[in-house]
Structure 1
Amino acid sequence: MLDDEYNIDYFKENGFAQKECSKCGNIYWTRDPQRETCGDAPCDYYSFIGKPIFKTPMNLTEMREYYLKFFEDRGHTRIDRYPVIARWRDDIYLTIASIADFQPFVTSGLVPPPANPLTISQPCIRLNDLDSVGRTGRHLTTFEMMAHHVFNKTGKEIYWKDKTIELCDQLLMSLGADPKDVTYIKNPWAGGGNAGASVEVMVGGLELATLVFMNLKESKNGDIEVKGKKYVKMDNYIVDTGYGLERFVWASKGSPTIYDAIFPKVVQELMNLAGIEHELNDPKYAQILSRNAQFAGVMDVSGNANLMELRKKVAAEIGMDVEELNKIMDPVEKVYTIADHARCLTFMLSDGIIPSNVKAGYLARLVIRRTIRLMNDLGIQVPLSDIVWLHIENMPEYPEFEENFGVTKEILEGEEEKYRQTIERGKRIIQKSAVKYKEQGQKIPLEELMEIYDSHGIPPEIAKEAAKEVGVEVDFPDNFYSLIADMHSEAGEKETQEFQYADKLERLPQTKRFYYDEPDRMEFEGVVLDVFGDYVVLDNTFFYPEGGGQEADHGMIMAGTFVYDVIDVQMIDGIVVHKLDVSDRELLINRGDMVIGQVDKNRRMAHSRHHTATHIINDAARKVLGNHIWQSGAQKTEERARLDISHYKHITQEELNEIELLANKMVMENKKVGFESLDRTEAEQKYGFGLYQGGVPPGKTLRVVKVGTDIEACGGTHCQNTGVIGPIKILKTERIQDGVERLEYAAGTAAVAAIQEMEKLLKTSSQTLSIPQENLPATVDRFFEEWKSLQKENERLKAEVAGTRVIQMVKNANVVGGVKVVTFVTRGEDTDALRMTAIELLKDDDVAAVLLSDKDGVKAVAACGKNAVSKGIRAGDLVKEMSTVVGGGGGGKPDLAMGGGPNAQNIEKAKNAAVSKIEQILSA
């Protein structure tokens, strides 16, 4: 439905013919009248292998600079790269394209771009083709999208389609491309609620760039259809281009693969470590590699593609036996994949992603574990951090990578150890699952393999080996890791609870909010705009509504002689609603009434202290633990606050003490807290993306809060000076999930109360022990050692008693069918004591014993020797029998089982039931 969008004058005026591909049917433009195919794989194989497209070979640094300067010379402003973790977005985790830098606020027209037009070389990460990396010769997890962007508005156009294609054409010609080799393929683009005409730029069978003309937005009533969805035209229209830096370098060198072109030193070092002869100057080897690469465009294992079937196609094209080709290419492709993944991790970890089980951290761990597995397959024994360092040495344009390498190295060392532990326990988990499917005569289904990977991190290759040991088959698709990455690439929809009176708010104006302007004012007058249920809306308010991890203000609203407690305050689309406590009376406030609001000052001050303290704690943690620290959640109440931070290991007590000391020093400096209202783009350029530590607030303008060296976009209430916070006391720290540490602390009077409570505990403990407080640690240590000694002595005595008791039990046993039936009922013994007796009894192979105690209901233990088990008596069955009688449950192994129930009055019946069960089995 975008045909009109492709009436492009530049094609008509520069000798291009519009054609339809004879193989795939795509529409494309070319200067070559003899061409019949579009230029994309698999319609055309790579023709540039050994025959570079461009006149001068360049490395990444040289090609990036050539591109950026080309567009700078043509009126574009060069801007710095954004991080590969999309800190300014709450819908995606990774930066997947250069346009993602400007979504959603710039692309929607809400805020101006940092420059217009602009050029950038943006590192991007996409994991949706993870399994194709290394195999196609072209796929990468990390790539730099060189781009030039233009943000046009109706009546203010900078340039549009013709100029964009002209610039692309000029760039290719300046590099030495043959004009007849260049094709532009028609392929409308749609994504993220936008759409537009688009052309893919092909040279030598390789897609070098995509030029998107984004001028549509999704609408149910739209009159333009693109890929099954309806769109309408936008007032703004955007040139969104993407040029693959790595592909340009590959095209300039004509290397067998993109990996040999962009990081040849890393590839060669890995080949050496894996014992692979990777001699590109060996004619026979280079020919196999080159011919494989020419046809490797078909080795894309996305969708339901099968790797071996694709390999057969390539083998047939180059005239080799598929097994021989696979033997050569499989280890080489693994090396390529390791090299690629290590570069991906260099960007991920240096930009602050902490491996974990959620969000971007999950994706980092996915890449780490896949890399380690491939290294193990090839017998590469060096630490993964060594390979990352090889990349850093070859990327001097990113000095931050070397600066952050200490943390990167420590993270990777920890992740390698976790992976080893995962594999050790993983086999047991898989085999337990496999036994279940073996009984049903089935394979382990893909859904369960994915769930096991998600929950336990067990790779499908390990699952296959472990399941095979118990006779169960495992099949998984060649795009398994891509499927996993797809599941975790985007943030889920945020759950929002709709306000029950939302329809009544539509006609009301936004509330004037003055809690920022006059933070110390707690009393005000307001006009009632509306009343519904127990909610009141005023024309203005000094009550802070819940938000940013800060609870709402409380207080009172007075209407004449009536006083109502304000128990909650919320803001819905700019309208503040005050919830009143009317549980014991009628709400006698009407629209148009003049009321007096009074904010609870003590609650407000406690919240302000804790909110300001959160900035200080975050800043101190970053200084003590490292620049990778990122706020992943916070909550501020009257009594205490908590801050969740991304960190790759437990915080030590020494680090905690240092954070607390540094935080209190910042308080004592009594620095003024700064507040600034800035245009979003200006704020980002001035302060960076650390602004979004507490989340990404909506809107064109950001309220920037500066507390010491911590600078964030923050909507909470704060103290005017750090000295007002008072003391800060860290109460505890804990790991709430892998990769996230929680700090709990109190500030001001809440901190004093917490310290007093700690002192009270110390005083009470020392008084109980009748010792001075300073002697408490030594005394506790002594008592603990004595307790451990007594525990050991207690265990020894229990074992002695059990041994003595067992001799008598066996002597008095009733022999039935060659089995010594032992019964024992006691008072007050716990399960542990009964279990020790049972273990002693198991030394006699002929024993079948049932032991019961009336402690806390009934405790039941059964023990069956080897001979008893061979005759069909199972301890688990006996325990189930007894536990049922006493109203409980239990079970265990054939030789030893435990259980019980609450009904102590049935203890004798339980014993008799077990004995009857034994006799029944033996008489059968």
Structure 2
Amino acid sequence: MTLEEEYLDISFLKENGFVRKKCPKCGKYFWTAGDREICGDPPCGSYTFIDNSPFTRSFELSEMREFYLKFFEERNHARIGRYPVVARWRDDIYLTIASIADFQPFVTSGVAPPPANPLTISQPCIRLDDLESVGKTGRHLTLFEMMAHHAFNYPGKEIYWKNETVAYCTELLEKLGVKKEEIVYKEEPWAGGGNAGPCLEAIVRGLELATLVFMNLEASEDGDIVLKGERYRKMRNYIVDTGYGLERFVWMSKGSATVYDAIFDEVIDKIYTFSGMRELKNRDVRKLVAESTRLFGVGLPGDRIHAELAEKFEMDEKEVGEIIEAISKVYALADHTRCVLFMLGDGLVPSNAGAGYLARLMIKRCLRIAEELQLNAEIFDLIELHGKKLGVDFEISMEVIKEILELEKDRFRSTIEKGIKFVERIVEKKKRIGKEDLIEFYDSHGLPAELVAKIAREKGAEVESVDIYAELAKRHSRAEKEKKEIIKLQKSYPKTEKLYYENPKLFEFSAKVLGFENGYVILDRSAFYPESGGQESDVGYLLANGEKFRVSKVIDIDGVVLHRVEGLKEISGEVKGIIDEERRLRHMRHHSATHLLLYTLQKIYGKHIWQAGAKKEAEKARLDVTHYKKISEEEVRRIEEIVNKEVFANKPIQWFWMDRIEAEKKFGFRLYQGGVPPGREIRIVRVGDDVQACGGTHCSSTGEIGMIKILSVDSIQDGVIRFEFAVAEAALEAIAKMESLLKESSKILRVEPKVLPRTVERFFEEWKEQRKEIERLKEELSKLRGETLLRNAEEFNSVKVVVDVLDVDMKELLKLGEFLAKRGAVGCLMAKGEGKVFVVAFASGNYDAREIIKEVGSYAKGSGGGRKEIAQGALAVLPSREEVLGIVFEYLARKKG
């Protein structure tokens, strides 16, 4: 069936008076039960619902959500709760971008069943693609709720398909008061995430309210269906994927000037009250804003909109622009603060990488806009107001959210203070600042594009007028998958029977050889654990044909376990496997301890603690977690005490297999601390009170772990803390090593270990004093050296000229150059470095050090730059004093002439 036939196949439309027409403006097909000739989807039409709602009543967000969910519950759909906006069950995206994302990839691919079928949900989603449009267009949001109903159809078991979906949509709209003649279903094929299908957009009075996707195609290189330049083939299963915009339904019900006025009224009022916008609040600008929204809807550019508004309302165009820009910032701040609430509330910790990058991006935008609006309130006040109005239960408390925001505000201010001078220095060298420069300033130095642009323009540089934030969000929106060793097997093998799951303390086994490829042996069964989930692989031996071969590495390729065997060319028949018992036991203890430590950290600090990485070795283990501030020594001791109490409690450690959906229902997405395992069934490991999806080997009780010793705690990046620790024998070895270092240090300093801290502190204070004295003497020596150079200066046209080669470092050269320039001298100092020659030029009056260093560099194969008074660089060869003196004299003569 072609795409056109897919649409023509919807008998409900024809049976209910809908006619298929082609829009003369956009050339696309649409269905209408009225007499319209154009589709009405902007820019083919405009918003006609503002101050003219087709609904019989107005709704608040909670009322509209409940109306929708109840409507579908009454039609045999199971209501399910929302998923977090942080997509913990996905390894390809950071944020939940649509309701269907809740069920990708395992449900949509047919690997796992849906939590209910059919189902209805109202899913908060975050999309930052149109970040720069938020606040300006009247309709764009960063966070929105996608109300949806889904049906998952399988061969021989169809729930419902196109006719029922369109019928539900029509009935819902009519129940809200929309006449059938006002509903437009526009044909717009959908594609995304490797799937595609026909789609109808439900439009009422110019506003798209719902999208009805009939997902029945999957990407395939040899597919016979071409859609948007990609090839697809029919899917075995087919899915009803709908999206109804909650905020848009509320907007239409109220007929407000913008979607922001419809849903953020209290927050907007607070921003007006506590900002430099108080006067604007008292002006009647509603009609101006409503007309601006309508014009944005039909696709007019900003400057055209301002001109049309000025003409229509008989106002100055500049004044119109200022009003619209100011109001847009109010709307954007109202929107962004709600987005930040969901991000932090669902457990994101701001960082400079990963999902935390997006949280920090949004927080910085909030802080910047608040500053521009002269907001006399904290952004937390707005977030708290959102929270009270929404009535949503978040994992993270408001107290923690407030603390995170305070720390982010301090970081942002510090970044700005340090960054201004840095930007000024860079801008002096560049005549033009482009898009990539602005992105580099933000990504590498945390500096907002607006600040960089302002400084650059003040310095006379040209700045590309471009919005970078949507681009930044786009570049950081997808998770980078871990690169794994790719081994292509020449033959097909059955999945290996994994004996290490049946008995993690099985250290000897027999097996049959199935194959030998690229130095790897494939067995029918194995007790060797392959590297996975941060746990190193087992090592040991294979006994075959009376010989002993070392197994140095074990990996898993799609369920087939491969054993790297040293010195073996080929093998067949029966073999005996022997695992390194001590290494396996250490791995088990470290893995179980990792779970226990993570649980302890969550118990102490809260549910924003998520595993950000882990490594389990024989000697030690490491655990990286998301956390917004450094951890003190006192806290480390407390963590150690609590985690060891869990060890000594000797709680049972259990592992079992569960249906994925049932496990998610029972334990939530905190299961996926260590990543998302594939398959319909997942292995669950319960260590004490901690429950995770995990494929590692573990002890049978916490008591088997042994003592846990935290070796170090470091902040490896903003928002991520690394714990290194050792357990049992490895902990004793680490403690013994520490004691040895302590005794060695005491021996060197000739003191008892108990007074070592006091002695080291005394030595440190003495060292600091001596360092100060050395620096003071260096200053005096530098001054004397400078005065000597000045006394021995040459004279040229009444100008003191100093040129010399010195045995000092670049820091001292610069200091001397500054000294000589302040005393009216002109010249050049050089010093030999490793593989190059350091050079500093200095000048005063009308002379320019940059010009001098350029000429010296040209002569001696070097380059440099700096300020008019002093410049620095490097030369490939060391010229003589006389050669450089001649260059300086020639320069002075030219300038004088």
Shorter-chain TM-score above 0.5: yes
Please point out which of 442, 445, 461 is paired with 2:450. Answer: 461
Task: State the match for 2:394 in structure 1.
Answer: 400
| Identical residues among aligned pairs (%) | 47
Distance 1:857 1:212 in 2: 66
1:84 Cα deviation after fit: 0.3
Residues 586-735 of structure 1: pairs in structure 2 closer than 5 A: 587=568, 589-591=570-572, 593-735=573-715
Q: Contact 1:864–1:874 at 8 Å: present in 2 too?
A: no
Which runs of 5 or more residues in structure 1 are unaligned? 300-304
Corresponding letter in the other structure for 2:214: F
Deviations 1:63-119 (A, max 9, x none): 111111111111111111000011111111110111110011001111000011111
Equivalent residue of 1:515, what SS? helix
Q: 1:286 to 1:745 in 2, by over 3 A?
A: same
Please point out which of 434, 437, 440 is paired with 1:445. Answer: 434
Please point out which of 774, 790, 802 is paired with 1:794. Answer: 774
Distance 2:863 2:222 in 1: 62
Deviations 1:881-916 (A, max 9, x none): 9998xxx9988767667789999xx9xx85565556
Distance 1:889 1:576 in 2: 58
Task: State the match for 1:76 in structure 2.
Answer: 77
Q: Contact 2:554–2:561 at 8 Å: present in 1 too?
A: yes
Moved more, 386-395 or 830-839: 830-839
Q: Contact 1:672–1:722 at 8 Å: present in 2 too?
A: yes
Equivalent residue of 2:84, what SS? coil
Residues 354-369 of structure 1: pairs in structure 2 closer than 5 A: 354-369=349-364
Residues 53-132 of structure 1: pairs in structure 2 closer than 5 A: 53-132=54-133
Q: Contact 2:68–2:147 at 8 Å: present in 1 too?
A: yes
Task: State the match for 1:270 in structure 2.
Answer: 271
Q: Contact 1:549–1:635 at 8 Å: present in 2 too?
A: yes
Distance 1:901 1:600 in 2: 58
Corresponding letter in the other structure for 1:13: E
1:861 Cα deviation after fit: 7.3
Q: 1:413 to 1:40 in 2, by over 3 A?
A: same
Task: State the match for 1:560 in structure 2.
Answer: 545
Distance 2:30 2:835 in 1: 82
Q: Contact 1:850–1:914 at 8 Å: present in 2 too?
A: no
Equivalent residue of 1:516, what SS? helix
Q: Contact 2:86–2:348 at 8 Å: present in 1 too?
A: yes
Distance 1:637 1:336 in 2: 51
Moved more, 77-86 or 452-461: 452-461
* TM-score, L = length of structure 1: 0.90
Equivalent residue of 1:274, what SS? coil
Please point out which of 517, 534, 542 is paired with 1:549. Answer: 534
Deviations 1:2-39 (A, max 9, x none): 1121221211222222223343233222222x222223
Whether 1:378 and 2:370 are equivalent positions in the alignment is no
Please point out which of 468, 487, 490 is paired with 1:480. Answer: 468
Task: State the match for 2:297 in structure 1.
Answer: 297
Please point out which of 329, 338, 343 is paired with 2:333. Answer: 338
Equivalent residue of 2:543, what SS? strand
Q: Contact 2:841–2:850 at 8 Å: present in 1 too?
A: no
Which runs of 5 or more residues in structure 2 are unaligned? none
Task: State the match for 1:219 in structure 2.
Answer: 220
Distance 1:647 1:375 in 2: 25
Residues 744-755 of structure 1: pairs in structure 2 closer than 5 A: 744-755=724-735
Deviations 1:451-488 (A, max 9, x none): 333323333322221111221221223x5322332222
Deviations 1:708-738 (A, max 9, x none): 2321111111111111111211111222222
Distance 2:675 2:659 in 1: 17
Equivalent residue of 2:273, what SS? helix
1:268 Cα deviation after fit: 1.1
Please point out which of 410, 424, 431 is paired with 1:417. Answer: 410
Please point out which of 499, 503, 526 is paired with 1:514. Answer: 499
Distance 1:495 1:473 in 2: 41
Moved more, 367-376 or 791-800: 791-800
Distance 1:707 1:722 in 2: 7
Task: State the match for 1:302 in structure 2.
Answer: none
Corresponding letter in the other structure for 1:677: W
Distance 2:821 2:318 in 1: 56
Corresponding letter in the other structure for 1:144: E
Distance 2:856 2:592 in 1: 59
Distance 2:565 2:689 in 1: 39
Corresponding letter in the other structure for 2:637: N
Moved more, 427-436 or 730-739: 427-436
Please point out which of 538, 550, 566 is paired with 1:581. Answer: 566
Task: State the match for 2:847 in structure 1.
Answer: 870
1:607 Cα deviation after fit: 1.2
Q: 1:455 to 1:306 in 2, by over 3 A?
A: farther
Q: Contact 2:852–2:891 at 8 Å: present in 1 too?
A: no
Aligned length: 892
Moved more, 247-256 or 839-848: 839-848
Corresponding letter in the other structure for 1:17: V
Equivalent residue of 1:767, what SS? helix
1:819 Cα deviation after fit: 5.2
Q: Contact 1:98–1:147 at 8 Å: present in 2 too?
A: yes
Distance 2:617 2:596 in 1: 16
Equivalent residue of 2:274, what SS? helix
Q: 1:233 to 1:763 in 2, by over 3 A?
A: same
Moved more, 416-425 or 188-197: 416-425
Moved more, 453-462 or 730-739: 453-462
Whether 1:491 and 2:501 are equivalent positions in the alignment is no
Q: 1:840 to 1:358 in 2, by over 3 A?
A: closer
Q: Contact 1:279–1:286 at 8 Å: present in 2 too?
A: no
1:321 Cα deviation after fit: 5.7
Equivalent residue of 1:675, what SS? strand
1:369 Cα deviation after fit: 2.0
Deviations 1:409-428 (A, max 9, x none): 12222222222233334444
Corresponding letter in the other structure for 1:249: V
Equivalent residue of 1:422, what SS? helix
Deviations 1:814-838 (A, max 9, x none): 55654556688888x7666777666
Corresponding letter in the other structure for 1:774: K
Deviations 1:543-581 (A, max 9, x none): 111111111111111113211111111111211111112
Deviations 1:171-207 (A, max 9, x none): 1222222222222212221111111221111122211
1:840 Cα deviation after fit: 5.7
Equivalent residue of 1:394, what SS? helix
Q: 1:164 to 1:277 in 2, by over 3 A?
A: same
Q: 1:481 to 1:794 in 2, by over 3 A?
A: closer
Distance 1:879 1:788 in 2: 40
Q: Contact 2:619–2:730 at 8 Å: present in 1 too?
A: yes
1:597 Cα deviation after fit: 0.8
Corresponding letter in the other structure for 2:290: S
Distance 2:149 2:806 in 1: 84
Equivalent residue of 1:146, what SS? strand
Q: 1:307 to 1:454 in 2, by over 3 A?
A: farther
Distance 1:892 1:135 in 2: 42
Equivalent residue of 2:500, what SS? coil
Equivalent residue of 1:139, what SS? coil
1:447 Cα deviation after fit: 2.9
1:318 Cα deviation after fit: 7.0
Moved more, 93-102 or 266-275: 266-275
